[in-house]
A and B are shown apart, each in its own frame.
Chain A
Amino acid sequence: MNTTLKFAAAIVATATFANAAELTGKVTLKGTPPPAKPIPQVKADANCGKTHPTDVMTRTYVVSADGGLANTVVYIKGGLEGKTFPVPAEKPLIDQVGCMYEPYVSAVMAGQTFQVRNSDAFMHNVNATPKVNKGFNFAQATAGQVNDKMFDKPELGAKFACNVHPWMIAYVSVLENPFFAVTDKDGKFAIKGDLPDGKYTVEAFHQKAGTVTGEVQVKGGKATLDLSLEVKQ
């Protein structure tokens, strides 16, 4: 194969990948969740208090006016059995800024490298306590310090905490395939990627509200699915 043909093949392959599917939708919450609590320790801390003039609240349930539930991991749970997918080269970032983890909830594929950064001018420690994967605890003493980390086994909601500032927590879900997303502040999600047409089981996982599954048929690379979680009384 000459160089021109190789180049053409590469273009076609890239175009195929770029013309990937998109599964969109919204996760809503039914019921009234317990109200968020203020975290007074943030303002009381000499360093962190400067970045938060008002009370910082817990982020257990972040719900929009129309019931959209943020911080929910939505992923393809069934329909891809026996298939393997390359691990994304992109390195998602878990940042520590203003004595809070941002994002609060994130997701990576098993084997995908992610980065943990300290954007504050003072020290944090990153204490990951997953149940399935191997945990770690290391210090990030200086502003801008970035460390690459990776989990190699699927697991939902691995907890990250800073013990220097013990209210700082975050959750990272590790998934088997690259087809996942985390809902935004309105509860919306968009799973993008090279998802073949077919019927899939989609699961939404919220750290507190639990899980809900739904079925979706992807046709022509497009599909929508709305899911609803419930606050049980």
Chain B
Amino acid sequence: MPAPDRSDRWLQRFAALTALCTLGLVCMGGLVTSKGVGMAVPDWPTSYGYNMFALPVSTWFTGGVFHEHTHRLWASTVGVLVVVLTRWLGGSASRRPLALIGAGEIVAGWVLLKLGADWKGAGYFLSGIGGVVLLGGVVWVKNGSAVRPLPLLGWLAFAAVQFQGLLGGLRVVLDKQMVADLPLGTVFGLVHACLGQMFLALLCVIALSLTVSWRRLAPTLDKARVGALRWMLPTATALVFLQLVLGASMRHQHAGLAIHDFPLAYGQVWPGTDPASVERYNNRRVEEVPVTAAQIRLQMFHRLGAVAAVAMVFASWVVAKNRLGWGSPVTRWASVWTALLGVQAALGAFTIWSDKAADIATAHVAVGAISLVTGVCSTLVARRVSVFPVVSSAKPRDPSAAFAFADPSAR
């Protein structure tokens, strides 16, 4: 296997930087929700009527405005990074489509500006995005495209980051619109949160695919060797994602904790959710907004989901260790994943015990995001693991090679 050239290494580093910045963005978004300051800036894409990049610092550093506005600026930075990544992955061939899309967005933004004052902010915002994209398209540096399917993944990230930005904005501007007794802002906020996690996973997959160790793994799937891991790892990943969706559903209702005690729930293993029981729980709560039976069930399902996810990840680790040995990258990824799930479960408990303290709840979101990424990467690594021999003992046949391959610490 030839060593990667310098540009490959820089592309890998840039992809890792983009993924890292996106993780920070997810954490910042989690903090915004944890603190309940998502509507601290009532307008979008402007901030208090200002172009978002020109908001006075004194306003930016006022209470919850700091978190929400920083989230917006951070998101813009990630947007620029993703445009650059798309251009880099796609090579010179991506110049024309980027230029066309950028020009199209500038024209669309200009049209919005002509529609009237209500569209002015959106027009400037779209034009701004278009300008960045167009700039990406006119960069004349000649470079070849990355191996398939990386350019396609780059375009996917390109589409996702713009859609994600739009969702974030709609979460603000449609907050007062109701659909089936639910504020549209809440619905968009929930989708925004879940898509953010998927977007982070996508960028991490791109970054992983650019690593030297990834390229050394053969892209074959030997069903006999990975055995049950073939379905266990994706199932565990799906469970973790389901947990993230359930968690986001609870957080975006801004109803406070539906259940204040753990490991019991209102002093019971499974709390009653009949009207009389729910009324009794509400009488004990200080919060004025009453908790509903559905919210109580949601938290209980989140607890059950946590048990299922931890069990499945732990089982995957056991199977990986037994079938592939300690030296296998799958085992190492699964080890990290198991440890993360343990931390995540503890953070979930502390979120309740701390009465949903913003920093702990945000750490719960962050570790959840890293857990999803680890699950996705574990699943992908397992699909290439057949280069390793099946081991009968814990010691791999070629430890030096095994440890050099795509293990988390080698990234």
Interface residues of A (CB under 8 A from B): 34-37, 45, 47-48, 58, 60, 122-123, 125, 127, 129, 134-139, 141, 159, 163-166, 169, 171, 207-208, 231-233
Contact = CB atoms under 8 A, between A and B. Distances in A.
Q: Is the interface of A mostly helix, strand, loop or mixed?
A: loop
Contacts of B41: 125
A232 B64 contact: no
A229 to B, nearest CB: 12
Contacts of B175: 135, 137
A111 to B, nearest CB: 20
A35 to B, nearest CB: 8
A184 B141 CA distance: 73
Interface residues of B, number: 27
A230 to B, nearest CB: 9
Contacts of B279: 232
B220 interface: no
Contacts of A125: 39-42
Contact of B63 (A141, A165, A169): A165
Interface string B270-313: 00000000011001111111000000000000000000000000
Q: Is the interface of B mostly helix, strand, loop or mixed?
A: loop
7 contacts: A37-B286, A47-B63, A48-B63, A125-B40, A137-B39, A164-B65, A233-B280
A21 B323 CA distance: 87
Contact of A208 (B39, B40, B288): B288
A232 B285 CA distance: 11
A231 B280 CA distance: 10
Nearest to B40: A163
Contacts of A48: 63
Contact of B287 (A60, A134, A136, A163): A60
Interface in B28-42: 35-42
Given A34-B284, A163-B37, A233-B283, A122 B183 contact: no
B64 A129 contact: no
Contacts of B42: 125, 127, 137-139
B288 A163 contact: no
Interface string B52-92: 00000001001111001000000000000000000000000
A163 B62 CA distance: 11
B395 to A, nearest CB: 53
A34 B42 CA distance: 34
Interface string B237-273: 0000000000000000000000000000000000000
A121 to B, nearest CB: 11
B251 to A, nearest CB: 14
